Amino acid sequence: MLDSAVHGAKPPPRVVAHWTARARHGFANIPVRLLLANLLVSLLPSVSFSRVRTAIYRFAGLQIGDNTMIFGRIEFTGPGAIQDRLHIGSHVVINEHLFVDLNGIVTIGDWVSIGHHVTLITSEHDVGPAHCRAGKLRPKDVTIENGAWIAACSTILPGVTIGHSSVVAAGSLVSGSIPPNRVVGGVPARALRSLPESP
């Protein structure tokens, strides 16, 4: 049987309706304000204008506390109203470039420092059948508690809580939750030492 599309025949109305609905759904998931914010932020020189950058992200609908400074562009992924799933506290320092997967909720507490090129991932897949091993998507929230420091090029995996006042060494892959006042590092990250609870 010849392919009707090749010979210029119109597709059946149900096919047109299907693809029209998919296109509408796709456009509905575009976070227009965040895209506009990232366009504006990309025009600013790196490391400078941190408070202007923070104000732009607030205008785009992100929840950001007082005296927080954002030194570079934040890259977001996730469906729907992703701005509702990112909570950034007060006195936070976010270096350039932060990648945030917002299939789940990401909570960043007060006085947190995040180094450059940090990745926060909130979703994983079940292992599926042989024809497609990446099965059902499962969101798992990520929490970074007050006073923590996530050093450069670290990756935080789904479901992880970084305890208050803990440190994740540069280049670490954190796959399990970290208790408060710990230094962890490595791939995968492991405890390196404890920190005093007060100065």
With bands split at pLDDT 50, 70 and 90, how would you rate the model's confidence at 1?
Answer: very low
For 124, phi then psi, to 5°, come to: -140, 170
Catalytic entry in 18, 117, 125, 131: 125
Pairing status of strand 182-185 against strand 190-194? antiparallel
Q: Is residue 127 over pLDDT 60? A: yes
Mean pLDDT estimate for the chain: 87
Spell out the domains of the chain, with CATH numbers in brackets: 13-194 (2.160.10.10)
CA angle 132–31–13, rounded 5-degree value: 65
Distance of CA 190 to the CA centre of its chain: 23
Q: What is the pLDDT of residue 86?
A: 95
Dist. CA 187–CA 128, nearest whole Å: 26
Q: Is residue 24 over pLDDT 60? A: no
Q: Is residue 121 over pLDDT 50? A: yes
pLDDT tens digits for range 28-82: 556 678 888 888 888 888 778 889 999 999 988 899 999 999 998 899 888 888 8
Q: What is the pLDDT of residue 91?
A: 97
Choose from 27-31, 162-166, 194-198 the range with maximum mean pLDDT: 162-166
Burial of residue 79 (number of CB atoms within 10 Å: 0-12, 13-18, 19+): middle
| Stretch among 90-99, 106-115, 121-130 having the lowest mean pLDDT | 121-130
125 labelled catalytic: yes
